[in-house]
Amino acid sequence: MGANSNLYALLEQRFIEAGDQPAFSLPGRAGLSYAGLLERVGRFANALRELGVRPDDRVTVQVEKSLNNVALYLAVMKVGAVYQPLNTAYTTAEVDYFVGDAEPRLIVTDPVRRAAMDDLADKHGVPAVETLDAQGEGSLAELAASMAVAAETAHRGPDDLAGLLYTSGTTGRSKGAMLTHRNLSSNALTLKDLWAFAPGDVLLHALPIFHVHGLYVALNTAFLNRSEIIWLDKFDADQVIAQLPRATLMMGVPTFYTRLLGHAGFSQDVCGNMRLFISGSAPLLADTHRQFEAVTGHKILERYGMTECGMITSNPYDGERVPGTVGFPLPEVSVRIVDGEGRPVAPGEVGMLETNGPNRFKGYWRMPEKTAEEIRPDGFFITGDLASMDEEGRVTIVGRGKDLIISGGFNVYPKEVESELDQLPGVRESAVIGVPHPDFGEAVVAVVTSLPNVVIAEPEVIERLAQRLAKFKVPKRVIQIGELPRNTMGKVQKAELRKQYGDLFSTVA
């Protein structure tokens, strides 16, 4: 058997070295040292084994952010199983699909959802359901507390799965991106060096941990560095401003930065100890970048990535950070920009961004045909993002070839919302678009036509959709019109609608 490629084996070594140094500090609450984290992960690993979780089993987790949630994430890797985090905003109808597709051995849910999850477990033959609440308490925490600390770390190969993260598809159902230990380790090791993590760094963590940004990018880099992590349950501008003076770096989506800029208490002073602000998951407006520099003296470092590949490009730590660009491919990561026939375009020209490297996912869970459609025979993944690359290799994302809205860093596929809208009584057709929004970057807007003589009631539609879809997917506005604009082929012209409704939120503060 070769060396253990389990990412947790690597992290565990760092945790042992860090010993009693703080791993997490929680404003106003008890924190946790690295030695404490090691113990906790050991107990959770034994609890998972007690529940019958074996290597390669999936563990579906839909719980609020807590230290026990972190311990669970690490313990799932420790036992060699596959972590499947789900956005806490997903409704039971949405979770139904993920559970049916992933066929987990265990579902971990909030106690308030226990009954609904028990039903889903029955329906899909999932053997175990356990709970963790927002404080990290629940049946799984109780079981873990009764367990021994000592637990073996499973041996894993580089291509074994560590995570299964779902991304919605432009057509049809969500796809589970299979992320391997190599994918996660290579990305975390690269980013730790690229962003110059060093002893003494303190990370302010306000992101959710059910997506790659808050989970893998933020936690794994900080863990590799044995950093202290200031742990906030969620982004709250007051709390972030209160904690920033003790932090040296923060990662966020653009909404974090626009909200900070809009807060009267935000100033250069509170950033006195800060070394680095990083932004990603959605485009950071060049204007926001400049305003932030004017207020704080810091140039936000923008990087680009996605669920399937983790981080792909980054502005440099030492070199020039150019507003409106996402920087250079990471070491060992290849990026090419190609035309419709897959041929590389000239520098500066716009095309589809394709990428390959140790960070590229293994494929879509049980969807070999989708995998073959999106990963070319030479290994490059077709991202769906439109970009250009200059002579030096600096990348600018100019748009999306995929019909996707990114609202406050969460992805919304219009097709999914349209399918729900089209089932509502009275709705004839719908087109869901993203329009500029001062807080979320883009906001979801539905344009609908009705059956004859029907008036669509906006609040009712919103309420009906909220029963089926996560809140962030529910349109902020529903607009009824006579006919959807179509081209000569009969295809709805969304660009036309985006132009027409582009300033819907421009006066909203």
76 binds, among ligand MLC, ligand AMP, none (CB under 5 to 8 A by kind): none
Q: Residue 232 in contact with residue 204, Cβ under 8 Å?
A: yes
408 binds, among ligand MLC, ligand AMP, none (CB under 5 to 8 A by kind): ligand MLC
For every residue of 338-392, which 3-state class applies, written as one string? ECCCCCECCCCCCEEEEEECCCCCCEECCCHHHHHHHECCCCCEEEEEEEEECCC
253 binds, among ligand MLC, ligand AMP, none (CB under 5 to 8 A by kind): ligand MLC
Report the residue from 5, 221, 355, 407 that binds ligand MLC according to the rule CB under 6 A: 407
Contact call for residue 277 and ligand MLC (CB under 6 A): no
Contact call for residue 478 and ligand AMP (CB under 6 A): no
CA 224/CA 34 separation, integer angstroms: 12
CA 343/CA 2 separation, integer angstroms: 39
Report the residue from 42, 163, 305, 363 that binds ligand MLC according to the rule CB under 6 A: 305
Give exposure, 248-282, as e/b (b: 16+ Cβ within 10 Å). bbbbbbbbbbbbbeeeeebeeebbeebbbbbbbbb
CA 114/CA 129 separation, integer angstroms: 8
Closer CB to ligand MLC, 235 or 277, in the complex: 235
Report the residue from 191, 253, 404, 421 that binds ligand MLC according to the rule CB under 6 A: 253
CA 447/CA 433 separation, integer angstroms: 8
For residue 164, the SS3 value is: strand
Closer CB to ligand AMP, 87 or 185, in the complex: 87
Q: Is 290 left (phi over 0), alpha (psi -120 to 50) or beta?
A: alpha
Give the interface segment with ligand MLC, choosing from 302-310, 335-343, 453-461, 481-489 (CB under 6 A). Answer: 302-310
Closer CB to ligand MLC, 143 or 382, in the complex: 382
Which residues lie closer than 8 Å to 506 by C-beta, 6 or more apart? 436, 438
Q: Which 153-182 residues touch ligand AMP, going by CB under 6 A?
A: 167
Contact call for residue 444 and ligand AMP (CB under 6 A): no
Give the interface segment with ligand AMP, choosing from 38-46, 182-190, 276-284, 316-324 (CB under 6 A). Answer: 276-284
Contact call for residue 406 and ligand AMP (CB under 6 A): yes
Q: How many residues bind ligand MLC (CB under 6 A)?
A: 21
Contact call for residue 235 and ligand MLC (CB under 6 A): yes
283 binds, among ligand MLC, ligand AMP, none (CB under 5 to 8 A by kind): ligand AMP
Binding string, residues 363-392; x marks residues near ligand AMP by CB under 6 A: --------------------xxx-------
For residue 261, the SS3 value is: helix
DSSP string of 173-202? S-EEEEEEHHHHHHHHHHHHHHTT--TT-E
CA 193/CA 190 separation, integer angstroms: 5
Closer CB to ligand AMP, 131 or 279, in the complex: 279
CA 324/CA 40 separation, integer angstroms: 42
Contact call for residue 408 and ligand MLC (CB under 6 A): yes
Give strand pairing partners of 412: 405
Question: Residue 42 has which token pair?
Answer: 């050991």
Report the residue from 36, 42, 214, 305 that binds ligand AMP according to the rule CB under 6 A: 305
Report the residue from 38, 232, 282, 427 that binds ligand AMP according to the rule CB under 6 A: 282
Binding string, residues 191-220; x marks residues near ligand MLC by CB under 6 A: ----------------xx--xxxx------
Vertex 299: Cα angle to 298 and 303 (nearest 5): 135
Helices (DSSP H) in 19-124: which residue ranges?
A: 34-50, 67-78, 92-102, 114-124
436 binds, among ligand AMP, ligand MLC, none (CB under 5 to 8 A by kind): none
Contact call for residue 505 and ligand MLC (CB under 6 A): no
For residue 170, the SS3 value is: coil
Q: What are phi and psi of 152, to 5 degrees?
A: -75, 145
Neighbours of 241 (CB within 10 A): 17
Closer CB to ligand AMP, 33 or 411, in the complex: 411
CB of 123 to ligand MLC, least distance (A): 27
Note the residues at the interface with ligand AMP (CB under 6 A).
Answer: 167, 280-283, 302, 304-307, 326, 383-385, 397, 400, 406, 411
What is the binding site for ligand MLC (CB under 6 A)? 207-208, 211-214, 235, 253, 255, 280-281, 305-307, 407-410, 440, 471-472
